[in-house]
Amino acid sequence: MEIKNFDHISLFFIKKEFQGKGIGRNLFEYYLRVIKQKNCDVKTISVNSSIYAENIYIKLGFRKINDIQEKNGIKYIPMEYKIFLKKK
């Protein structure tokens, strides 16, 4: 997993034989905890999902914010995740 500026997932891969075992979810939840611990002012996380990973991101709580885009011959789906911080 590679994050840019605490608010954009630029890479997120789980080796095929480990997919479907909750590793990706655990990694994403760890990332959310880090953001909260650092008191970042991040309220939205973005990702340009591959077409194949769209359902995985939806399961993590992301939503599509636009139709399929293409840049340099690569198709992707812009998605975002809203962070809801608990008030103290």
Domains along the chain with CATH numbers: 2-82 (3.40.630.30)
The pLDDT of residue 86 is 55
- Residue 64: which H helix or E strand, with range? strand 63-64
Query: What's the Cα-to-Cα distance from 54 to each of 35, 47, 76, 85, rounded to whole Å?
Result: 23, 10, 9, 25
| CA–CA dist 24, 14 (Å, integer) | 7
Q: Which residues of the chain have pLDDT under 70?
A: 85-88
Confidence at residue 36, expressed as pLDDT on a 0 to 100 scale: 85
Identify the sign of the CA torsion 58, 27, 49, 21.
negative
